[in-house]
Amino acid sequence: MPIPLYADERAKRFFYYGYTGKSGDYFWNTSAEGLEPTLTYPNGTCGYCGNRALSIQAGLRHRNRLDSERDYDVTGYTCCCKEAMDEVEHRTLVKQMKERHEDELAALNATAPAPSEAVFQKYAEGVLQNSMKSAMNSFKHIKSPGDLKKLAERLKSV
């Protein structure tokens, strides 16, 4: 299969030159690095140009076992037209933008103001003092071991 006339310049890296008999020709590399599925309809045509979509066999990229039939499974379809290559480029730009946004957000969060330790310590001491006062007031009303047991149960739930 020669490189189609409608093929975008960016898609030419997905073809390779090989020999068949006496002459050489270009062939579609179904496992080329960077191939991604693009818009295709269930009948196998490209959603942009209407030409027949080309298969992708991503399992052949990094084969662990030579006898694995799953490696030959078709994992998607793509086209080599300009619009399909634009779709892949658009997805790549969106991914890069999201990564930059995450990095910028992390950098911004790193500069967020931290609460004052002194203010927190003062708050914690106030809470502790109020708890101690409440506990001491509870001890004033204890007149029997049963009252002490009730107080202990109430403090467990706190």
Boundaries of every domain in the chain: 9-110, 118-156
pLDDT at 158: 60
Q: Whole-prediction pTM value?
A: 0.63
| Angstrom distance (rounded) from CA 127 to CA 115 | 18
Which residues lie below 8 Å from residue 7, measured CB to CB, with a gap of 6+?
15, 80, 81
Read off the pLDDT of residues 116-156 as tens digits, 9 standing for 90 and up: 999 999 999 999 998 888 877 777 777 777 877 777 787 77
Note the pLDDT of residue 1.
64
pLDDT digit string, tens, across residues 86-111: 999 999 999 999 999 999 999 999 99
Distance, CA of 90 to CA of 10 (rounded, Å): 13
- The amino acid that residue 152 corresponds to is A
In this predicted structure, what is the pLDDT of residue 69?
60
d(CA 2, CA 48): 21
Evaluate whether 79 touches 38 at the Cβ level (below 8 Å).
Answer: yes
Closest among 49, 44, 43 to 86, alpha carbons compared: 49
